[in-house]
Amino acid sequence: MIKTTVAISIMTKLCVVTLIISILAPQLVNATEDDYQLKSAQHKSLLVAVGCFWCGEQAFEQYAPGVVEAVSGYAGTDGIENPTYRNHPGHFEVVLVEYDPTKTSYQVLIDYAWKNSDPFNGNGQFCDYGPSYKPAIFYDNDEEREIAERYVQETVLPNYPTWKEKDLQIPLLPRPTFWTAETYHQNYYIKNPGDYGYYKNACGRPQRLKDVWGKDVYDCYHNLESSCFENVTNASGDVVEAELNTKGAEEPEAALLPRKYWITIGAIGTALVVIMVSFLVVKKRGEDNKSKQSMELKQLN
């Protein structure tokens, strides 16, 4: 009798545990830990792939409300561990967006992800092609997945009625582990504004986004002086004042050419000057020798 009672007790506990796991499992999409630690336990994070992570980092960090930090990195369900820029098979170039849910929401930031992507190019983004540059939006639980799905149905398609859902090529994927990219990639738009601006324009990113979403929409999402988003709805559903550009960075201005090109031009210019000077020196010596020989002949005669 006692053994039967114990067995029933154990079975009951197992059933309860199984029930709890079945309830929580859909919420635990990403069982592994990112190698980036949020600045506060009250903060949340969003993972997106919008092409080159330099551009994604600037777009969210400067223009998206409530963003605390945007970090360049790598992520992919089939990716290798400890990826690097030179070796990251199976990974997207991604941006981890740390945000304050009292100042913004997952839905607001999903909107920014779409507005910074070309939804019709599933093989890359803008001038960058290949698996690393494919677009994607990642969800961490069922709630985020449902928000992202509703966004397409309730915001994207109604506002662009000529678009067909089958033509949209931004997949919604379970969130994989995030690996932080090398230090020199972080805050690239701040540390190298001229080079960054040149690349961004040369890659055709601003123009393509204007072509896809419209110039007015582009200006709303990429201008610190824009009045389009003075207020936003946070994760609790409260309307709050939009806070942008958390690092107070100036909007980068494109250089005429990247620094590496100027270095090359300088090296070529220096080499040409050396060659020219060497030529003139040799020529002068030759003329001096001829003049000396001519004088010696006159003296002999």
The yes-or-no verdict on residue 262 having pLDDT over 50 is no
Q: What is the CA radius of gyration of the chain?
A: 29
Query: Residue 74 belongs to what H/E stretch?
Result: strand 67-75
pLDDT-derived band at 258, boundaries 50, 70, 90: low
The length of the chain is 301
Residue 30, pLDDT score: 42
The yes-or-no verdict on residue 21 having pLDDT over 50 is no
The yes-or-no verdict on residue 33 having pLDDT over 50 is yes
pLDDT-derived band at 228, boundaries 50, 70, 90: confident
Q: Specify the higher pLDDT residue, 24 or 185.
A: 185
The yes-or-no verdict on residue 25 having pLDDT over 70 is no
Whole-model pTM: value is 0.77
With pLDDT > 70 as the criterion, what percentage of the chain qualifies? 78
Q: What is the pLDDT of residues 153-167, one digit of tens each?
A: 999 999 999 999 999
Distance CA 254, CA 140 (A): 36
Which residue stretches of the chain are H helix?
2-24, 53-58, 106-115, 142-151, 157-159, 188-191, 193-202, 205-213, 215-221, 259-300
Residue 254, pLDDT score: 81
Residue 225, pLDDT score: 86
Q: Which residues are catalytic?
A: 52
46 three-state secondary structure: strand
pLDDT-derived band at 83, boundaries 50, 70, 90: very high
